[in-house]
């Protein structure tokens, strides 16, 4: 059987090279230097937008292009800057761009200028057709039932309902962050209940810090998949996977399944260190799933990992197993 498959690939390559090339997009990695927590949104007209954390943690920037590779040299625009004092005054992290009911929203995390670790989730709104144009206004904070450290909000629609997944300290103290899910009544308001769908329980989720964060959602093959990142943002940073049957109740925690090991992690041979905080988009063909993530190309970091600026945005094709699960090709380069 393997020989037949191999022969088929050879014949396709010889007689129909355009088919094979169309199925294997190649990327000019890294797509963006010194851009972490990348989020790529593909608009209905095929335009790609990249938004990400900058190493100064002081502003939100956006770039657009007609292709993923085009984002590399696209002109970047600052669309919002941190406050000089008070809330939204420090640690501007992990912005995401979403198009909801004809308007653009940016979800992001921010601390206070006077209390930099008092981090909460905030929302910007722009009614323009092009998020690079018009005026971005502060819509307010996403309020959760727990008043605690919270970040990395991502929103998605499923079966006519909108949901939010975010990372939050739910146990207090040094327990770190869990992923929490809630339904929304509008892009800013949670309706509850707020359901914990994963907490750091395995050793690979508890390296230096107990962390589950940076969720990204992909719906395919009768399941809802959620990737997330775990551990400190050094070479221990890695990705885990949750999934649930699409007929199950998303707000029932026991319906969620979790990978016992990481699905994407550091690889010395490929000089890929601390991969994570990904997003999903599709290639220009509208079908091929692309994962956009950040990683470093060196292991040793001088000082604290959050002070190292060199997490770079990268892109790679997601493969799929025969059982319908995403395969992140851990031992292959981008």
Quickly list DSSP for 50-70.
Answer: EEEE-TT-SEEEEEEESSTGG
Whole-number Cα distances in Å, 143 to 73, 146, 171, 180, 190: 37, 8, 17, 13, 7
Task: Find residue 272's DSSP bridge partners.
Answer: 267
pLDDT tens, 77-101? 999 999 999 999 999 999 999 999 9
What are the boundaries of each domain within the chain?
2-327
The pair of structure tokens assigned to 263 is: 């699905």
Contacts of 302 (CB under 8 A, 6+ apart): 308
Which pTM does this prediction carry? Answer: 0.92
Counts for the chain of helices (H) and strands (E), in that order = 2, 22
Using an 8 Å Cβ cutoff, are 297 and 20 in contact? no
The pLDDT assigned to 18 comes to 43
Contacts of 110 (CB under 8 A, 6+ apart): 82, 87, 88, 89, 90, 91, 92, 93, 119, 120, 122
> Which residues does the annotation mark as catalytic?
37, 213
- Pairing label, strands 319-320, 326-327: antiparallel
pLDDT tens, 145-161? 999 999 999 999 999 99
Fold for the domain defined by 2-327 = Tachylectin-2; Chain A (2.115.10)
Kind and range of the H or E run holding 22:
helix 17-23
Averaged pLDDT for residues 199-214: 98
Averaged pLDDT for residues 3-16: 40
The pLDDT assigned to 24 comes to 78
Kind and range of the H or E run holding 303:
none
Local confidence band at 205 (pLDDT 50, 70, 90 cut-offs): very high
pLDDT at residue 15 tops 50 = no
Local confidence band at 23 (pLDDT 50, 70, 90 cut-offs): low
pLDDT at residue 121 tops 60 = yes
CA distance 167 to 240: 14
């Amino acid at each position: 059987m393997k020989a037949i498959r191999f022969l088929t690939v050879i014949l396709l390559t010889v007689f129909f090279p355009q088919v094979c090339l169309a199925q294997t997009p190649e990327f000019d990695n890294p797509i963006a230097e010194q851009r972490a927590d990348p989020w790529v949104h593909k608009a209905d007209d095929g335009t790609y937008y990249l938004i990400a954390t900058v190493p100064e943690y002081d502003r939100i920037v956006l770039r657009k292009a007609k292709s993923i590779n085009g984002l590399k040299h696209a002109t970047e625009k600052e669309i919002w800057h941190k406050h000089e004092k008070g809330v939204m005054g420090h640690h501007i992290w992990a912005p995401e761009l979403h198009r909801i009911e004809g308007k653009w929203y940016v979800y992001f995390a921010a601390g206070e200028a006077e209390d930099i670790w008092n981090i909460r989730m905030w929302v910007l709104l722009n009614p323009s057709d092009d998020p690079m144009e018009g005026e971005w206004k502060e819509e307010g904070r996403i309020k959760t039932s727990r008043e605690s450290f919270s970040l990395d909000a991502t929103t998605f629609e499923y079966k006519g309902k909108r949901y939010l997944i975010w990372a939050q300290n739910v146990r207090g103290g040094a327990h770190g962050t869990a992923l929490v899910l809630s339904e929304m009544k509008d892009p800013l308001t949670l309706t509850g209940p707020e359901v914990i769908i994963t907490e750091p329980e395995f050793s690979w989720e508890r390296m230096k810090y107990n962390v589950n964060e940076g969720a990204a959602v992909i719906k395919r093959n009768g399941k809802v998949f959620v990737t997330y990142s775990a551990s400190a943002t050094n070479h221990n940073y890695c990705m885990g996977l949750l999934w649930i049957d699409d007929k199950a109740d998303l707000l029932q925690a026991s319906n969620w399944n979790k990978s016992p090991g990481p699905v994407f992690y550091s690889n010395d041979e490929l000089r890929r260190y601390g991969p994570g905080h990904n997003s999903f988009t599709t290639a220009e063909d509208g079908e091929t799933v692309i994962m956009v993530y950040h990683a470093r190309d060196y292991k040793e970091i001088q000082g604290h990992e959050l002070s190292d600026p060199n997490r770079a945005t990268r892109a790679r094709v997601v493969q799929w197993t025969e059982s319908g699960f995403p395969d992140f090709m851990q031992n292959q380069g981008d």
